Amino acid sequence: MHVTISQLSGIVAYEFRMHWRRRSLLVVTLAMTLITVVLAVVTAGEMGQDSMRQLVSQLDQEQGAHGIDVLTFTILFATWAPVGGALAFVLPVLVADTIPLDEQLRTRELLDSLPLAIGVYLAGKVAGVFMAAMTGIVFAAGATAISWWVFVGPYDLVSYLQMWLLGSGALIALNGSLAVLLAAGQPTRRRAALLIIMIWGVGVVALGSVLAGDSNLVAYLSPMRAPIIMRYTRFDAYSSTPVPFLSADTAQALAIGLIEVIIAALVVWSWMRRRAQRA
């Protein structure tokens, strides 16, 4: 057990390093941060911080809404659009090569000669991707939270960080893991990326049919994770409630996504085991 935990944490730690050193994660994190900061600057420039505060207090006084919640929602909406999009579409393509890279770099043969269980290898790879991506998210959340505060003014910081950590965390855990697992059988980075683009493409088509009202189930099955993605775009400005992450539909999307990840993990595990026995 001690050896298994040591191996698992070792894979996570080195996968973390390798992902950051390949730079693609760094570029996406910086892009998400930069876009959000620019949005904060542009919003402040458009409206001016004073007029923003005036608007918040006006809403408070005249319309009975909690102005701070309206402002928070505006910030969440503006931030979540690029972040949710990047995590839903771009991240899966970037991390798809996690396992194929061992084939492409020809480290697979050496790994196969080590006393390493397939389950530990897979769990380490998936957890490594999660840790690497979440580190970027924590950085981006902190940097952008400060930007909004400085350029636009006080808002509900808890809701903001909750969006970053829970919303992003859910997308990374589900879509990142699924991409790593689904692309496990590909021999090269390129083919892994193409496969994920293809699967995610089908996901978008499926989402399109959902938006047209065809099937609700597809919304939950689709890697678009529509209920999670849409979470911060639906808000009743006058209900004076902050934006909770967990609701019936996000919980359902999380549960279904988790089942998808577990099924994918079991299929990949059996396939790798079978491959080892038949090699």
Partner 1 sequence: MIEIHDLTKTYVGGVRALDGLDLEVGSGMFGLVGPNGAGKTTLMRILAGIIQPTSGTVRVFGHDLHTVAGRMAAKALLGYLPQDLGLYPNLTGREFLDYIAILKGITEAGERRRQIERLLEEVRLVDVADRKLKTYSGGMRRRIGVAQALLGDPKLLIVDEPTVGLDPEERVRFRNLLSEMAARCTIILSTHIVEDISHSCNDLAVISQGRALFRGAPADLIEQVRGHVWAITTAGERPAGDLMVVSTLQLQHGVQYRVLGAPASTDGALALEPSLEDGYIWLMRQRRGAA
Which positions lie near partner 1, rule CB under 8 A? 2-3, 6-7, 10-11, 14, 17-18, 21-22, 102, 105-117, 276-279
CB of 30 to partner 1, least distance (A): 18
CB of 279 to partner 1, least distance (A): 4
Nearer to partner 1, 234 or 273 (CB): 273
Nearer to partner 1, 22 or 53 (CB): 22
Nearer to partner 1, 24 or 240 (CB): 24
CB of 263 to partner 1, least distance (A): 23
CB of 190 to partner 1, least distance (A): 17
CB of 177 to partner 1, least distance (A): 21
Distance of alpha carbon 18 from the chain centroid: 19
Nearer to partner 1, 114 or 248 (CB): 114
Nearer to partner 1, 41 or 118 (CB): 118
